[in-house]
Amino acid sequence: MEIFASAANDTFLSWIDEGDAQNTLDALNEFDAFMEESEPFDGVMAFSQAAGFVASYMIRKLREEDSVHAVLSPPFKCAIFLCSAPYTKGGEFVKYLDPVLDRHRMQIPTAHIWGRNDFQVEGPGSWLVELCAKEGTESVVHEGGHEVPGMKMPDALRATVRAVQKIIERATFSC
C-alpha cells in the first residue's frame, strides 16, 4: 500500500493509485486472494474509497463467476457503505461501478450512509445504491459532509444505527 496525501499535512493509506489501471487490477487480485484464504465473512464495513473498492470487488465476482454461485455464495452476507466514493475515474474498472453499464446487482442486504454536504467525492453514496438490489437496501443521508454520523448529529447517528441493525437482521435471517 502506498501513502497518499489529501492536504499538505494529511496522510492516509490507499488501496490503489487511481491513475494506474494495472495497480487497481493488482489490488483487486490481491484482495481476492486474501478473501479466498480467509472466507467466510459475515459482513463488511467500508468508508470512502474502500467502499468503492469493495463494491467493485463484489460486482467483479458477479461478472466473473457462475452467476448462480456468486448470488448464492457472496463473499459477505451484508455490507455497510459509508460515504462511498468511486475509486477510479477511468479505465477498465469504471464499468464495475456504473449501474447503467452493468446489469449485475449486489443481492445482499446493504446500508448506505452519506452526507448531503459531502463535497470530497462526486455523487457520494447515491451511485452505489443503484448497484444493489432494491429490496434489502437501507439509505441514510445526513446533513454532514464526508464523515460518519457521531454525537454531534444525534438524529443521523440513530438513523445510521437503525439502518445497520436492519441489514444485519436481514443477513442473519436470510441464512
Spatial distance between the Cα atoms of 156 and 144, rounded to a whole number of angstroms: 9
pLDDT of 3: 42
Its sign, for the CA torsion 151, 80, 118, 160, is negative
Q: Which run of H or of E encompasses 77? A: strand 76-82
**How is residue 156 written as a grid cell?**
443521523
pLDDT of 4: 42
- Intervals of the chain under pLDDT 50: 1-6, 8
pLDDT of 82: 94
Spatial distance between the Cα atoms of 17 and 25, rounded to a whole number of angstroms: 10
Say what the pTM is: 0.83
pLDDT of 124: 57
pLDDT of 59: 85
pLDDT of 15: 66
pLDDT of 135: 85
Q: Could you please report the per-residue DSSP string of 105-174?
A: -B-S-EEEEEETT--SSSSTTHHHHTTB-STTEEEEEESSSSS---TTSHHHHHHHHHHHHHHHHHHHHT
